Amino acid sequence: MKKISLILSVLVLSLGIAASAFAGEPQTRLKNGVDKVIAILSDRALKGPAKKNERQAKLRAVADSFFDWRELSRRTVAESWSKYTPKQQEEFIAAFSELLEKTYIRKIEKYNNEKVNYLREQVDGNHAFISTEVVMKDKKIPLNYVMIKHEQWMVYDVVVEGVSLVKNYRSQFHKILSKETPEGLLKRIRDKIKALDEGKNVDDVVGKEG
């Protein structure tokens, strides 16, 4: 009996090692990025409001090296993307990524040692879909990443509980673009960043949209 259980445990252990070793290139890269973010967030030297700017700059640098902002912007603006000149496209990418970083970095700064489980990796050509879950105190939140490889594997969409970031923005942009020019949309993003920088109340910003 002892022998069997020993063999079994060895088998299970080796399977576990094999499974982690076989994580493909996209997942390894994603995990690398997530681990870097967690390392910054758990770094004692970077904690506290005094270090806010330094910490956020570091997080932004990590985000920039793991997100394909061009792919993300192109997909959210969708059909109207070609209405922007190449220069405007660059401006759009810069503004939109700044908005996303500003708001979502603030959100992930509330990170409190939640564990991230990597559930499944699917690769098809230069696209990859990684399913993960974040274990919160009272529930698990499914968090999926869609990646693309141009030079390197980069994330271009994040899906939280079935809500895709790209598609959520696409429906907003579509609505705005049905009434306004592409330049108008770019201006709206910049206004929003400005409002956030000025530390306006969130509801003031909301009121303005109404």
Partner 1 sequence: MNRQAPAAEFPRTVLRGLSGLVAAAVLVLLCSGAAGAAAPESAKVSPEPAAKPAGQALLAYGDEDIWDENGQVIKKTAQGEKMTLADAAANTPDPLEGWNRMWFTFNDKLYFWALKPVSQGYAYVIPERPRLWVRNFFHNLMFPVRFTSLMLQAKFDAAAVETSRFIGNTAFGLGGFGDVTGDSKPFRPIPSTEQDLGLTFGYWGMDNGFYLVWPFIGPSSGRDTLGYAGDYFLTPQSYLNPWYWSIASKSYDKVNEVSLRLGDYDTLVEASLDPYEAVRDAYLRLRFKRMND
Residues that bind partner 1 (CB under 8 A): 74-75, 78-79, 99-100, 103-104, 106-107, 110, 120, 122, 124, 127, 129, 131, 137-138, 142, 144, 146, 159, 161-164, 167-176, 178, 185, 188-189, 192, 196, 201-203, 205-207, 209-210
**What is the rounded distance in angstroms from the CA atom of residue 40 to the CA atom of residue 19?**
27
Question: Measured from the CB of residue 2, what is the shortest distance to partner 1 in angstroms?
Answer: 26
Angle at 98 between CA 50 and CA 30, to 5 degrees: 90
Q: Compare residues 6 and 191 and give the one whose CB is closer to partner 1.
A: 191
Q: Compare residues 88 and 122 and give the one whose CB is closer to partner 1.
A: 122
Question: Measured from the CB of residue 58, what is the shortest distance to partner 1 in angstroms?
Answer: 20
Convert 13-31 to b/e letters by CB count within 10 Å (16 or more is b): eeeeeeeeeeeeebbebbb
Tokens 């996303």 belong to 100
H/E stretch holding 158 reads strand 153-160
Question: Measured from the CB of residue 192, what is the shortest distance to partner 1 in angstroms?
Answer: 6
Question: Measured from the CB of residue 167, what is the shortest distance to partner 1 in angstroms?
Answer: 7
H/E stretch holding 7 reads helix 2-21
**What is the rounded distance in angstroms from the CA atom of residue 54 to the CA atom of residue 40?**
10
Tell me phi and psi for residue 163, to 5 degrees. Answer: -105, 115
Q: Compare residues 23 and 129 and give the one whose CB is closer to partner 1.
A: 129
Question: Measured from the CB of residue 6, what is the shortest distance to partner 1 in angstroms?
Answer: 25
Q: Compare residues 40 and 77 and give the one whose CB is closer to partner 1.
A: 77
